[in-house]
Amino acid sequence: MFGNPSYPTYQVFLAAAIAGVLTAFLMTPFIKLMRHEGVGQQIRADGPQRHLIKQGTPTMGGVVFLLAVLITCFLQASWTVDLTLAVIATYLTGSLGLLDDIESVAHKRSLGLTPSQKMIGLILISVVFGVLAVSLCGIRPTVEFPGGFTIDLGVLTTTFTAMGTIFYVPWLYIFFVFLLMAGLSNAVNLTDGLDGLAGGCTLVVMMAMAMVAFRYNEVNLAVFAASIAGALVGFLWHNCYPASIFMGDTGSLALGAAFAALAVLTKTEVTSLLMGGLFICEALSVIIQVISFKATGKRVFLMAPIHHHFEKKGWSETKVVIRFWIVSAAFAALGFALYFQLS
């Protein structure tokens, strides 16, 4: 481990720096490799026309920053059960995204795996994660709201024994974990539509989650969150407008899963929804658009997700991205302040 573990704050900040440097340097040869192999992003034909020039831009950049995060965790963290679960959930979801990216590139289309295939994968990952979090980490099967109000979701619990260990399956809470993980993974994925948008918005959220984990006395989870934030700084060096590479579903799905896993393991499931309020708005804009069009034949937004709505209104891509970063930072700060005040 680099640094003195007696100074955990330094340990966390150093993790962010290591992940950032690793990502920034490793991304350059990866971009060259992707260009050499002709691995490029497929752009939606019904999207903004100015996005068509991005056709063929290298993708799957999430592979590099996820690798950097993993290396950093090996260097800076102790592999507790909590950290191991968070990493497994993140990388399994990232693997699901990688399959989606490979399918998209192989068939030269903007969509890879079918929605049902993605959903089956997310169900399996979230159920296993939820059961292990409750059984091995002692996570309470509750939903805790700011102010002390708590909903007990452990009323329908079954148990089974495997390898000498008793596993608890609180079905209602497991369903809640699935909604959280699947919802945030897809929400971050929807946000990944402009150069630097998802990366920058997730960066500030992960900084907030690192502080939450630190206050929760989970230094290793704080290192994990800080590593992701730092890796995204390195990624944004290459992903800022005009992007040299995209993170792909490999990155976006993994980032949402990491966010959800950290929320569960720090018991901030509700507060995290406020911290990730920008992602929630992006997902809600799509839901509202679909419901409105099916019910009335009219669209609420010029285009969904909502970042495309502002593009259609004449905002430049960089203006949308920077303003969304600011909004994301405001949500993250508000959520952390609420957690800090009431914890």
User: Which of 173-182, 196-205, 258-267, 333-342 is predicted with the least confidence, judged by mean pLDDT?
Assistant: 333-342
Residue type, 173: Y
> What pLDDT is attached to residue 55?
66
Q: Residue 157 in 3-state DSSP?
A: strand
pLDDT of residue 3: 55
The residue to which tokens 């909004």 are assigned? 327
Q: How confident is the model at residue 35 (pLDDT cuts 50, 70, 90)?
A: confident
End-to-end CA distance of the chain: 30
Structure tokens at 241: 């407008």
Averaging pLDDT over each range in 4-8, 98-102, 175-179, which range is the top one? 175-179
CB 273 within 8 A of CB 181: no
For residue 29, cis peptide bond before it (omega within 30 degrees of 0): no
Question: How far apart, in whole angstroms, are the C-alpha atoms of residue 212 and residue 231?
Answer: 19
**Token representation of residue 152:** 């007990």
Angle subtended at Cα 270 by Cα 264 and Cα 274, rounded to the nearest 5 degrees: 120
In a domain, 78, yes or no: yes
Q: Is the pLDDT at 65 greater than 70, yes or no? A: yes
Q: Is 168 helix (H, G, I), strand (E, B) or coil?
A: strand
Q: Which pLDDT belongs to residue 17?
A: 96
Contact yes or no for 208/152 (Cβ under 8 A): no
DSSP state of 152: E
Residue 134 identity: V
Structure tokens at 119: 């959903």
Annotated binding site for Mg(2+), which residues? 189, 249
**Token pair in block for residue 110:** 């903007």
225 falls within a domain: yes
Over residues 126-131, mean pLDDT: 97
Domain that holds residue 153: 8-269
* Residue pointed to by tokens 């700060």: 333
- Structurally, the chain folds into a number of domains equal to 1
Please answer whether residues 298 and 207 qualify as being in contact, where contact means their C-beta atoms are separated by less than 8 angstroms: no
Q: Which residues of 313-343 are buried (b: 16+ CB within 10 A; e: fewer)?
A: eeeebeebbeebbeebbebbeebbebbeeee
Binding residues: 189, 249
> In the predicted model, is pLDDT for residue 153 greater than 90?
yes
Flag whether 157 is in a domain.
yes
Q: CB count, 10 Å around CB of 155? A: 10
Q: How far apart are CA 158 and CA 153, in angstroms?
A: 12
Domain membership of residue 317 (yes or no) is no
Are the CB atoms for 3 and 76 separated by under 8 Å? yes
291 within some domain: no
What mean pLDDT is predicted for residues 77-87? 96
- Spatial separation of the C-alpha atoms in residues 131 and 114, rounded to whole Å: 26
pLDDT in tens, 157-204: 999 998 888 999 999 999 999 999 999 999 999 999 899 999 999 999
Residue 338 in domain: no
Q: Please, are residues 129 and 181 in contact by the beta-carbon 8 Å criterion?
A: yes
Q: Say what the pTM is.
A: 0.93
